[in-house]
Chain A
Amino acid sequence: METVIFWILSAFAVAAALAVVFFKRAVNGVMSLLAFMFGMAGLYVLMGAQLVAFFQVIVYVGAVLVLFAFVVMLLNLKEFVRRLTSPADVRAAIPAVLLAVGIAALTWLALQDGAFAKAAVLQPVAGLRQIALDLFTRHLLVFELTSVILFVAAVGAIVISRKEGDRS
């Protein structure tokens, strides 16, 4: 049963990711990424990481994708056409193919090692209490530093997107 759900969800996620890459218009890409995020959230639930699935929906769908949709609508990008057939873009696909082959070869080599297969057995799910305790005790400094990063990024985004000479 779990295996069937895994294959359905992964096919859904891969199809949505391909749609992001191959849709002509940016709005359709953003909407496909929305579907992709929900597929990933389903995979997290399947893995017993419900907390991560919640955050996936809240942070990515609720904040990041809304930001993307907002910018796409703000800039009114209607002149974009996929230019996959022009010579420059066919040449640009060469590093992409090389990268795909390289990643596939590396993953295959890594998984050949028997140590992975021995160590990789289904373990008990880390509960919410365990994660919270770890996050707020052992990893407290990292947690605080992420808030600093968010603050700096928010200020930086305002400074970058502001008009030149706009002092008010």
Chain B
Amino acid sequence: MTLYHFVGLGMVLFTIGAAGFFIRNNAVVLLLCIEIMLNAVNLIFASFARFLYGTEGQIFIFIIMTIAAAEAAVGLGIIIALYRSHKTLDMSLIKDLKG
């Protein structure tokens, strides 16, 4: 169990989240994929805090968790507003910003 294991795992999880963000259409699942990516980054921060001694890694994690909570609150508010105005959450059907 080395730093490489944890960084590799974080990379795999981040890639799964990013790929899911591209291939899914459901807005709620897109937010879930963002949470996966944030958690992958948290894992890498924690592993660097463990292997390169320092408390900064864990403090970074607390701040990222706070931002993730704020992002979830605002994102779900946007989803509710979107559902109210478009009656769907399928992102391939919502094209208001398409130039």
Spell out A's residues near B (CB within 8 Å). 2-3, 6, 10, 13-14, 17-18, 20-21, 26, 29-30, 33, 36-37, 40, 43-44, 47-49, 51-52, 55-56, 59-60, 63-64, 67-68, 71-72, 74-75, 77, 79-80, 82-84, 88-89, 92-93, 95-97, 99-100, 103-104, 107, 111, 116, 119-126, 130-131, 134-135, 139, 142, 146, 149-150, 152-154, 156-161, 163
* Secondary structure class of chain B's binding surface, majority of residues: helix
Which among A47, A77, A89 is the interface contact of B47 at CB below 8 angstroms?
Answer: A47
Task: Tell me the nearest residue of chain B to A89, going by C-beta.
Answer: B23
Interface string of B31-54 (1 = CB under 8 A from A): 111011001001100110111111
Whether the pair B23, A67 counts as a contact (CB closer than 8 A) is: no
Considering the chains assembled together, what is the distance between the CA atoms of A73 and B6 in angstroms?
35
Identify the 8 closest CB pairs spanning chains A and B, nearest first.
A153-B70, A21-B20, A123-B53, A96-B19, A157-B77, A120-B3, A96-B22, A161-B77
Interface size on B, as a range, is 35 or more
Which among B46, B49, B55, B77 is the interface contact of A156 at CB below 8 angstroms?
Answer: B77
A149 to chain B, nearest CB (A): 5
